[in-house]
Amino acid sequence: LLFAYDPAKRLARLKVNLEKAVVNARMIYEILDMEDKQRDAAGAAALVVDGGEIEFENVDFNYGDGTAVLHALSFKADSHKTTALVGPSGAGKSTVISLIQRFYDPSSGSILIDSQNIDNVTKSSLRQQIAFVSQQAYLFEGSIMDNIRYGRPDATDAEIIKAAELANAHQFILQQSAGYDTPVGENGVTLSGGQRQRVSIARAIVRNAPILLLDEATSALDNESERLVQDALEKVMKGRTTIVVAHRLSTIVNADKIIVINDGQVVETGTHASLSKKKNGMYARLNHLGKGGKAALDIE
């Protein structure tokens, strides 16, 4: 009886592993600049980044089902500054982050980095200049060391440890059974949400790219973990051009510029101080509803 159902069980396990492999391959491609369907233009040059200013000019976009997601979206993220995108769920904030990395191309309008249209540069040179920290904080099969090294495959062990220290991850890593060699992922140790986030921040630090894209987590962490993640993020944002899909009040309040997006359009731009004064503005409404809670300024 055991042998009779064993192959089916093995098959089931194989299927799970295959699915996982697909997910991993896609995530690895996102980080390691492998091929995808957005082709380089003929004669595309390498992106040359100076300050890393990012500009959207009248960008229209839909995911292919005909429903417009972004409508003539225009804004500028200044070099070396932090720009926070806020707005209701479904407004198009994460889509903006995807378009900057050319996971998709606009249907019209342009996206410029230091005045170069990203359509006309090689994708690999574009992604080399970008570190992306997503709210899921993915970990791959492998050691903690491997997971940080995904940020830049030729990083030395010393550089990885330095990045982990800056990301407030070094201490908890040392407490694991095999330190930096401790396996994580499906067959490894389970890290808490805050620990995973700090590993992915270390990955971004080791990448050392001038542009940082951050999709901030919506799920609340406990206070200590929250403080460590926030502190690590502040360090990685320093000196870089950062665009953050912001959910935390502290991130939004500290941003150099806030872009309020609703229904794929920019409805307001300013700082926390200037936007809070516009009593009937969308930001003031979002802000009011967020009062008291440390996360989620989203309305609806």
**DSSP secondary structure, 61-82, as one string:** EE-SSS-EEEEEEEEEE-TTSE
Using an 8 Å Cβ cutoff, are 286 and 268 in contact? no
Compare residues 114 and 215 and give the one whose CB is closer to ligand ATP: 215
Compare residues 73 and 144 and give the one whose CB is closer to ligand ATP: 73
| Shortest distance in whole angstroms from residue 65 CB to ligand ATP | 6
| Shortest distance in whole angstroms from residue 69 CB to ligand ATP | 4
| Shortest distance in whole angstroms from residue 219 CB to ligand ATP | 13
| Shortest distance in whole angstroms from residue 242 CB to ligand ATP | 16
Give the Cα separation of 50 and 112 in Å (integer).
13
Kind and range of the H or E element at 277?
A: helix 272-277
Compare residues 95 and 129 and give the one whose CB is closer to ligand ATP: 95
| Shortest distance in whole angstroms from residue 118 CB to ligand ATP | 18
Using an 8 Å Cβ cutoff, are 297 and 252 in contact? yes
List residues near ligand ATP by CB under 6 A. Answer: 63, 69, 87, 89-95, 245
| Shortest distance in whole angstroms from residue 68 CB to ligand ATP | 9
176-197 b/e (C-beta count within 10 Å ≥ 16 → b): beeebebbbbeebeebebbbbb
Compare residues 89 and 190 and give the one whose CB is closer to ligand ATP: 89
Compare residues 191 and 245 and give the one whose CB is closer to ligand ATP: 245
Residues forming a β-bridge with 130: 211
Helix axes 157-166, 193-207, angle to 10 degrees: 130
Compare residues 238 and 294 and give the one whose CB is closer to ligand ATP: 294
Catalogue the long-range contacts made by 5-10 (C-beta closer than 8 Å, 24 or more residues apart).
none
CA atoms within 13 A on the CB side of 119: 12
